[in-house]
Structure 1
Amino acid sequence: MRYPAIDKSLFIENRSRLATLLKPHSLVILQSNDIMPTNADGSMGFRQSTDLFYLTGVDQEETILVICPNHPDEKFREVLFLRETNELIAVWEGEKLTREQGRETSGIQTVYWTHQFENIFRNIVFEAESVYLNTNEHTRNDSPVQTRDARYVIEFKERYPLHSLCRLAPLMHQLRAVKHPIEIALMQKACDITRLGFERLLKFVKPGIQEYEIEAELLHEFIRNRSKGFAYQPIIASGANACVLHYIQNSRTCNDGDVLLLDVAAEFANYGSDLTRSIPVNGRFTKRQRDVYDAVLRVFYAAKNMLVTGNLWDEYHVEVGKVMESELIGLGLITKDDIAKQDPDWPAYKKYFPHGTSHFLGLDIHDLGNKYRRFEPGNVFTCEPGIYIREEGLGIRLENNILITADGNIDLMANIPIEAEEIEYLMNR
């Protein structure tokens, strides 16, 4: 791995926290992600199941985790299965984790090879009454691809039809929403690498540059700082492209007078950061651009102040919407009459701010969490208001990553320039 070894106490504690949520005499089975094909004999880069990584720290394909806290034989209470290396694999792919390395990475003492799974598993499964299997229950999930976990649900039902099955996903949503100090440190590192990339761009961007050239500069800076690269598909949107929320072509020329919207951030050790900035291509905002920028910035600060312990997702977004209404009126984009006549399910401000203000952040960019639970210490949210004026070809969004604590919040991106004056200064010095 590019990143230094993560303290295995994180994964030991994560498994311990999970065990306290299980029914008596339970069994948990988690599978690594597949390596996805492209064409011919090609494959995509491997991305580990974030739930499996959260519980083991193992960043390798063909991995299986079994947890059975009440098993009579102590060695079967936590079992890790790894892909066994051989000379052919070592030559073509590089060696995989040894059993000892698996123990050191995860803190799990019982380690077997994946091809031994069925023989070992029979010693475990019949001692369990409730079996927790994993499925993707993220509310934004819309993938037609069947995961390894999903295939195993079908397989398990066929082989062991009389066991009682339970959903692991709600427990993982509960656990992963509250970040451990080690996780927060890894996310801070991702944010710090992102800062280096953004500061590099402030010296690089000028009229005539291509959006993809900016992407290349960022990737260079991220990788040279031990990141695997972008935490998500980068959005580098100049001019009217900034009004397309998920613009990823990054193929246009950045012209004099454009505002460039950058939704770009690095990952580190599989943990993500999520930054958005909007900068003037020529180094100076016009008056209209600055007015819109400052309006978004005021909404950002107001929303950030609401990301505190005890607040509730839907209530938070309603209050942010009220602040945005006021700013849009001030910009002459909507009127009080528009608000009086608005559809409550699609308020007037949504014409210019159609997305939510925040989402959970962690191992996944839209991380696991439950919107119906009140905010609590250890939650990490994005804060990302924006105003998109399609008729003017102007889109501005600002985004930082906010850690909630018992007595307020901490901005993990506080050291990344966000004030318009500072951005203009850094672009022109």
Structure 2
Amino acid sequence: MSRRNTRQAHPSIRSRVAVIVAGVALLSWAGPGANAFWASVANGGSAAAAADAVAAGATPSASVSAGNVTLAWKAAATLAGRPVSGYTLARYASASGGTRIAAGGTCTGTVTAGLGCTDQGVPTGTWYYTVTPVLGQWQGPESVRSAGAAVDTTPPAAPTVSAPAYVNSATVATVPVSGTTEPGASIALTVKDAGTPVHTVTAAVTADASGAWNTAVNLSSLADGTLTYSAVATDTAGNQGNPTPPGTVTSVKDVTAPTVSGVVLADGGGKGGKIEPGDKATITFFEALDSSTICSSWAPGAAGTLSGDNQVTVTISAGNVLSVSVDSSACPTSRIGSVALAGNYSPSGTLTYKGAGGSASTVSWSPATRMLTITLGALATGSANNGTVKAAVPTYTPTGGMRDVAGNALAVTPVAGSSSSF
């Protein structure tokens, strides 16, 4: 090579040396917290070196829903302000150390669109996430790890459900339903009737810190009969309980008030037309009453009889109205009602019938036949009319507080019976 050619080669050599020196200088300047890149740019026969470094990624935020973790972070750039081209996401099982696990879902590979993604199907545990910015073939330092993201992929068990045995006219608009589940879980409640077609009412409620939940639902739109309550829980991690089977319970809807279907006077003493021991007044209802609302010592739904010595007193007023009083030791609260006899059985004053043993006055109730029967015992005071009373139509007036088994109140309106007499 000639000396002239040797001189002409010197500028090119010097340019390459400058790039190398600039790169070395950049790596030295950037330190361990950044990765460097450099480039040579020709301009009119001369060359200049440019160098920069990718800054560390920003610590991401993490929010959890069931087995998914949604991540968000701030944009990263080089130290010279150049935007990066993407980000890689990773998770660790501890706040420091441990094995780096590449994020999945929409966080798989290098995220180039936006500043967020969702790591899907994450196992149960507490996870810590990092962001690493990428620029071409270069990548910056991994970010500081996020706060722990607690992932719970276990669905809650079926919640317990409690509802009243009966829904009546007084409660149908605000039926109380309650139960227990995981603390803080949300409950999806469904109530269905047995109609054709089936009608449905839904409600949503959140359990308190102890797992207790309660709500009130309006079931006016559902048909009378059996109601089925179903509840499915979704825990605070977003896991929904298996809806098969859900927590269930049933009740009976009956919003129809009970009514009197018949009032009959029957001769029991053999002397028709004269009131005497053994005569009966029987009141029949369209449906069974709650036994305890007739006599507070009777169990709901059970048959009952009051027949002790002088336990029941039947009174016939001067106005020929039959009424009953019961010894409070046998029945602390009694609701039997009264019967207007519509016949002149008492010429004057008051007649009372009670007695002991087989001669005692009695009151009996049969849920099976829906009959309330009052039987006169021995005459205690007064003198009955000896004349014959023509057939008359008695009228029964209930006592307030009598209810059917669903809790619907029996109206206190007088009800006329059939034409009959003692």
Give the alignment's TM-score, normalised by structure 1: 0.23
More strand by percentage: 2
Structure label with greater radius of gyration: 2
Tell which has more relative contact order, 1 or 2 (C-alpha 8 A, sep 6+): 1
Give the alignment's TM-score, normalised by structure 2: 0.23
More helix by percentage: 1
